[in-house]
Chains A and B, each alone.
Chain A
């Protein structure tokens, strides 16, 4: 719809104290006479069925844009939503009458400004037209171990086609090597056989699953719904398209050769838990050195785990694996004894029953302690030296066989590190002189070991693989949203995401399969995934004005933008989470969404009535993140906590989605101060767009420069971080800021 074709109907709800606290007639005048709305009416209880009927009458009579001034947009969503019609919600309740004194001049001015801002937005915002692209709904599962097989089966059972890619000649992953597992079902006492063969049969018989064995990925180009995969199998390349990807590439054992102090590599009778599986499966536990039966078996837990010098994390399953192996060894030879040296036995939940089962065996001994060393002694034995034991001293225990419970390392690549390595190599190749060369050389040295590790080989400017968290796991940073990796449509499952047992991995894989299904389902409707679920807007780039500064490409947290040789961004809209960080970063302001753009917010800023310098009424602008801070404003209002009436708030998608021109616009317009509040940044960041507050922090350097140039005080722009649970702090922050601005004095550019 063209903006000039908009016919705006404004409705003001008088309920919830609004009618009692404001001059509604004056508001109606602002709407119609000042802002040119086609009509403006009020109603005592707009969210009632009668209110709804009256609104619909307006629509029937030709209104195509609605402004509803009343409660917060977070409430009564369905009451005021009309299909195809832009509905602007103006918050006169939580933000005005619940947090300011009634029938007060400043409160009235505040309400009028919010109405002006809302109408300004309603005049320009468009109901997004969803992107229509051809979406393939096939799910690609990378990795054919228990996690991958489960993801494939579960997706197929839900009616989706699957391509399951496995680099080995056979499916099964590590389950091929582990013939018996610790119990996953009550009463959690007896070892279980794997159901590998029956699972493989199920997969092979499922018409929706295409299995590619002995296959490696050459590259994956495109975006969710349109991932173009090139797969190499036996020297030939096949190409096909998929919609979403589950990475279930599993794990490899920690390199035990690094554990020389535990005897690995120095004696053949020091083996890993993985090697022990093979011995047990053979039917008899024989010492590798001389083939004699091993009757004193020492299990050393946390071998190279929970150790800053090796793997700092715990691999979650090794305790239960050892319990299994000890019981199994005892089953094979009841003369055998097992000595388990542990830091903590981690058999949590119902697995406590399995631990109890092992403790019932009088020939399995548990000793808490740190194993200092494993030394070959004269003859057949090995000596395990242990410190800080339950007996309170150092002890030495002789063993025939020592099993090191080593941990799991994810088979994943650090996508961003590989990208930085490639960029640094490119700089070196170009050979230009300067500080850049030095920095590039250092980067290459530091990141060299990432070379050649890529797994998914995504053709993404931001790197060929998923970004990783601490310890190189491609996991989500969020507890409440554990599948949200930083690449839309690509989900990690199983031990590559976090070490775990096969049952937990299967549950994990089922979840990842659902997220993959949701992604293609949403993409087919032009909708975004987490956290702006259902959002059909997408960023539009006016590339003819692009200056190739590359800020959008670099700052996009989700790798949405590729780049051509000149550095012009190439958007891939289904990768996009609609955060608007690109829009915030662009100095030329060429990026916009149908309902959220630089122009829209600038118009809202300019719609505010700024009293001239003689009225002594400063004006503050508040830009607040919609995820945590806007709801915090609502909560403060609900609690009837007042805040300064000098401030006008605009909700933004993210602090990263704030274009600094808005600050310039506000200052030019005569605002005296700008307060920006967003989510927590840092290592334990809360931003669902990863780096919003952090970006605003770095951009604020530019802002400070600008303020200096204008000879304005730095304090006029303040950035704060707030969690929703801290809503009581927000009125304090606002009031402090207001007091500070009043002290500094009015903006000299006002008037």
Chain B
């Protein structure tokens, strides 16, 4: 897609929904694309979601279509377990150095799983927010792309152990695989580095890390997911009991001068969505949502309006001051002021979900970029970067829901295409 027939090349950093979208859209408009993802799989945070709001539809549906587009594309090259180390050059003419970590499993892997029984090592399961463990050799999840096992280098005992090797019928394990580096020349770089959960343990008084039944939105998502640590059953971490009551604490450490000043835009909808999960599994559970403002903008208001018809869903405006264990049984007490009634509330619940929000994943902070990158005071990349052809999309730029990220990434792909066109005609 360029004026003299040469195709341009774009680097997309980050293989979550924004990166996948930017890569596919740019490639279908004619660009060559290299998609770099630090994890062993594509999908980023949406792969961890049980359902999207407001349709309550599974992420796997859209991901399957997108992965089909990637699998059948001749123009997209995906590098997982890879990081961009350096970007040099200037407007429209960049050279990127990409490092790939060894998966220690090669392309012969058919994901049969015979290696798992042989491996003697357990490691915390990061896909499930450490609510469980896997062996050192593991498949991130059943719809992972690429559908290939991976070895956690930090846990694996290496050739000193080697028990997985004879277990594999396809000679797919290579414990001596080495890291690789490559350099590519591109006309544009799209930063789709997404978000992380802030560390909830730093928020004073809300019990994360000290009370066993205080979890985050992301952990709740994993509990509800069929491929999660409990097979989709929402239950208390302390004793595995089904829950009869739950409190969602909105703005936990957000909109707060002492922690995160920004609002994460999606947590109100995330908690309302998760309230539906609870309602579906526990028809009689009492659900409490402690909020400052409920942010369900635009047509998302329909979802909020529908949620408000649930008689066992109680909305309380008031910032939660404290979450503590009520007794040794794991029950919790949530203390807040209900500003609309003026009363102090001490609500006993089985489970507390902290809406801790999102912070930009600082992957890009580790990349050396000629000329640097501009960020706002919250760490998000800004829309205007010093050099043309450096574009931020999705949550790397501002907290947003999936549909907004996909639109943003599509626009970003166009701007990348423009760089390729300018370069070709220059």
A510 close to B64 (CB less than 8 A): no
Tell me the residues in window 659-709 of chain A with beta carbons closer than 8 Å to chain B beta carbons: 679-680, 684, 686, 688
A349 close to B410 (CB less than 8 A): no
Answer yes or no: B378 CB below 8 A from chain A CBs.
yes
A531-B339 in contact given A353-B261, A507-B408 (Cβ < 8 Å): no
A500-B298 in contact given A16-B110, A531-B65, A688-B65 (Cβ < 8 Å): yes
Answer yes or no: B25 CB below 8 A from chain A CBs.
yes
B60 close to A499 (CB less than 8 A): no
A392-B417 in contact given A522-B28, A631-B64, A686-B57 (Cβ < 8 Å): no
B293 close to A345 (CB less than 8 A): yes
A185 to B397, alpha carbons, bound, how many Å?
11
Contact with A along B57-91 (1 / 0, CB 8 A): 11111111110110110100000000000000000
B61 close to A511 (CB less than 8 A): no
Tell me the residues in window 380-426 of chain B with beta carbons closer than 8 Å to chain A beta carbons: 380, 382-384, 398-400, 402-404, 406-415, 417-418, 421-422, 425
Q: Which residues of A contact B263 (CB under 8 A)?
A: 347-352
A71 to B107, alpha carbons, bound, how many Å?
14
Selected interface stretch from A253-261, A270-278, A286-294, A470-478 = A470-478
B340 close to A368 (CB less than 8 A): yes
A92 to chain B, nearest CB (A): 13
A371 to chain B, nearest CB (A): 16
Name the one of B226, B265, B413, B425 contacting A514, with C-beta atoms under 8 angstroms: B413
A684 close to B301 (CB less than 8 A): no
A728 nearest in chain B by CB position: B226
A350 close to B262 (CB less than 8 A): yes
A348 close to B65 (CB less than 8 A): no
Answer yes or no: A628 CB below 8 A from chain B CBs.
yes
A387 to chain B, nearest CB (A): 11
A480 close to B408 (CB less than 8 A): no
A392 to B341, alpha carbons, bound, how many Å?
5
A627 close to B64 (CB less than 8 A): yes
A16 close to B112 (CB less than 8 A): yes
A74-B68 in contact given A187-B377, A350-B262, A508-B411 (Cβ < 8 Å): yes
Q: Is the interface of A mostly helix, strand, loop or mixed?
A: loop
A350 to B383, alpha carbons, bound, how many Å?
13
Q: Which residues of B contact A350 (CB under 8 A)?
A: 262-263, 376, 378, 380, 398
Tell me the residues in window 29-68 of chain B with beta carbons closer than 8 Å to chain A beta carbons: 29-30, 52, 55-66, 68
Q: Which residues of A contact B376 (CB under 8 A)?
A: 186-187, 350
Answer yes or no: B294 CB below 8 A from chain A CBs.
yes
A511-B418 in contact given A314-B301, A388-B340, A500-B298 (Cβ < 8 Å): no
Name the one of B17, B261, B383 contacting A356, with C-beta atoms under 8 angstroms: B261
Selected interface stretch from A28-36, A151-159, A212-220 = A151-159
A368 close to B302 (CB less than 8 A): no
B375 to chain A, nearest CB (A): 9
B60 close to A344 (CB less than 8 A): no
B415 close to A510 (CB less than 8 A): yes
A725 to chain B, nearest CB (A): 4
A349-B382 in contact given A154-B415, A313-B299, A724-B58 (Cβ < 8 Å): no
A391 to B339, alpha carbons, bound, how many Å?
8
A74 to B68, alpha carbons, bound, how many Å?
7
A71 to B111, alpha carbons, bound, how many Å?
12
Answer yes or no: A140 CB below 8 A from chain B CBs.
no
A43 to chain B, nearest CB (A): 14
B221 to chain A, nearest CB (A): 13
Answer yes or no: A306 CB below 8 A from chain B CBs.
yes
A344 to chain B, nearest CB (A): 4
Tell me the residues in window 324-354 of chain B with beta carbons closer than 8 Å to chain A beta carbons: 339-342
Q: Which residues of B contact A351 (CB under 8 A)?
A: 263
Answer yes or no: B147 CB below 8 A from chain A CBs.
yes
Answer yes or no: B6 CB below 8 A from chain A CBs.
no
B410 close to A511 (CB less than 8 A): yes
A470 to B298, alpha carbons, bound, how many Å?
12
Answer yes or no: B300 CB below 8 A from chain A CBs.
yes
Name the one of A316, A479, A726 contacting B298, with C-beta atoms under 8 angstroms: A316
A494 to chain B, nearest CB (A): 11
A142 to B67, alpha carbons, bound, how many Å?
33
Name the one of B340, B399, B407 contacting A348, with C-beta atoms under 8 angstroms: B399
Answer yes or no: A521 CB below 8 A from chain B CBs.
yes
Answer yes or no: B2 CB below 8 A from chain A CBs.
yes
A181 to B406, alpha carbons, bound, how many Å?
25
Answer yes or no: B244 CB below 8 A from chain A CBs.
no
Answer yes or no: B362 CB below 8 A from chain A CBs.
no
Q: Which residues of B contact A (CB under 8 A)?
A: 1-3, 17, 25, 28-30, 52, 55-66, 68-69, 71-72, 74, 108, 110-112, 142-143, 147, 170, 226, 255, 261-265, 293-302, 305, 317, 339-342, 376-378, 380, 382-384, 398-400, 402-404, 406-415, 417-418, 421-422, 425
Show 6 residue pairs from A and B whose CB-CB distance is below 8 angstroms, ordered by the A residue.
A158-B418, A352-B262, A479-B57, A479-B402, A628-B64, A725-B226
* Given A17-B112, A480-B62: 5 more A-B contacts, CB < 8 Å: A157-B418, A314-B297, A316-B298, A352-B255, A483-B407
A-B pairs with the 3 shortest C-beta distances? A480-B62, A510-B411, A511-B410
